Structure 1
Amino acid sequence: MVTDPQLPSPPLVGAGVIVPTGDGRVLIGRRTTAGEPPTWSLPGGKVDHPGESFEAAAARELAEETGIVLPAADMRVLAVLLDHELGRTRVTAAVLAPPSLAEALVTEPHACAGWERIAVDALPEPMFYPSAQVLAAWLPDYTAPPGTWHYPTPPHPA
C-alpha cells in the first residue's frame, strides 16, 4: 500500500481510564516512553480491534498496563475528547472505571516506571496531555491545557 503524503494521517482513537479509589485518590503512572519527556499518566491507549468499544478498550488497556481486571460493562464513558496536539487528529474517550484498590503492576516497564494512587487535589505535573484532558472531563476544578474539545456524554440510566 502506498501512502499519499498529501492525505492527512488517520486519526488516533483511544481511551484514558480513570480508576478512582473511593477515598479521593486516583491511579496515576510515571510515564517513561523513549523519545518523550517523562510525564504522569492515567492508564489507557488505542482502540485496537475492529468493533472494540471505548469501554472494552479501556478494560483491555487497564489489564495490559496494570494487571487490574475490571469488566468493560462496569466502565462508563464520561466524555469524548478531540484534539490536534500531535499535529494530527486524536479522539480520546474519558472512561470512568469502578473504584478499585487492586494492586497495580508494572507490566510495561519500557513505558511506565510505576503506579501510584494520588489524591485528586494533589495531582503531579507534568501530566501527559491526553490524561490531563481526561482528568478535566472528570474533575470540575482540574485545569487542563487548552486545545481540546470536550463532548460530555449523558449519564447512563440506573
Structure 2
Amino acid sequence: MFRSSVFQWVRALAWAGAVTLPGSAHALIVPMPGWVPVNGDANIWTDSTGKCVMREERYGQAFPTFRSPEDARTFALKLQTSLDARVDAVVTQPVDRAGNWGVLAAYDYVQAGATYRVSQLYLSDRGILRTITGSSATTGADACVNAMRDFIRYLAN
C-alpha cells in the first residue's frame, strides 16, 4: 500500500540519518470531518475514502527556528535543490506560523508506476525537526486533497 512506503521514503528524504523520537508530547490534531487516525495512531490520519493520508513525525535532527521569511526562504531554496535531484515538480516556500517561519515543500513522487503528490511542512519544535506530510495519488483523489493541502499550508503547527 502506498501510505507506508511513501512515508518511509519521505522520512529518509527529509534528513539522511534522522532518528524518529519515540513518543511525543502531543499528537497531530486533524480538525476535518471524516478523518480518522490509522490503526489508532494519532500521528497518522486518513480521510474516509483512504485516498489522502497525513503523517506527523519528529526527528532527533536539530532544526533551527526561522525568525524571518528570509531565513526560511534560504532553507527553502536549499531544500528545493536537494529534492529536485530526487523527485519531480518541486516547489518550496516559507510559511508563517505565529511569528516563526516554517517551510512548505510540494513535489511528485513516483512509485510502481503511480504518481503521488506530496505536501510536506518543515517546522522547528523547540529546535528539533518536525514534519507534517500529506500525500494522495495524482489521479482518483477526491475532495480530500484540497482540504488536506489547506490544512498543511495554513493550519498545521
TM-score (norm. length: structure 1):
0.27
The structure richer in strand per residue is: 2
Greater Cα radius of gyration, structure 1 or 2: 1
TM-score (norm. length: structure 2):
0.28
The structure richer in helix per residue is: 2
